[in-house]
Amino acid sequence: MPSPPASTTKKTPMLHLCSFGFHKSGIPADTTGHGGGYVFDCRSLPNPGREPAFADLTGQDAEVIAFLQAEPRVQEFLSHVLRLVLQHAQNYGERGFTDLTVCFGCTGGRHRSVYCAELAASELRRHGYRVELEHIDKPD
Provide the domain limits for residue 22.
Answer: 14-135
Q: How confident is the model at residue 10 (pLDDT cuts 50, 70, 90)?
A: low
Domain annotation covers residue 8 = no
Domain annotation covers residue 4 = no
Q: What single string gives the DSSP state of each residue in 11-66?
A: -PPEEEEEEEETTTT-SPPPSSS----EEEEGGGS--GGGSGGGTT--TTSHHHHH
Q: What is the pLDDT of residue 111?
A: 97
Domain annotation covers residue 55 = yes
Domain count, the chain: 1
What does the mean pLDDT of the chain come to?
91
Domain annotation covers residue 75 = yes
Domain annotation covers residue 93 = yes
Measure the CA–CA gap between 137 and 44, rounded to whole angstroms.
19
Measure the CA–CA gap between 98 and 89, rounded to whole angstroms.
10
Domain annotation covers residue 53 = yes
Measure the CA–CA gap between 102 and 26, rounded to whole angstroms.
14
Span 86-135, pLDDT tens digits: 999 999 999 999 999 999 999 999 999 999 999 999 999 999 999 999 99
Domain annotation covers residue 3 = no
Burial of 82-119, coded b for 16+ CB within 10 Å and e otherwise, reads: beebbebbbebbeeebebbbbbbbbbbbbbbbbbbbbb
Higher pLDDT pick, 96 / 140: 96
Helix axes 112-126, 62-69, angle to 10 degrees: 80
Span 20-37, pLDDT tens digits: 999 988 999 888 887 779
Measure the CA–CA gap between 37 and 4, rounded to whole angstroms.
19
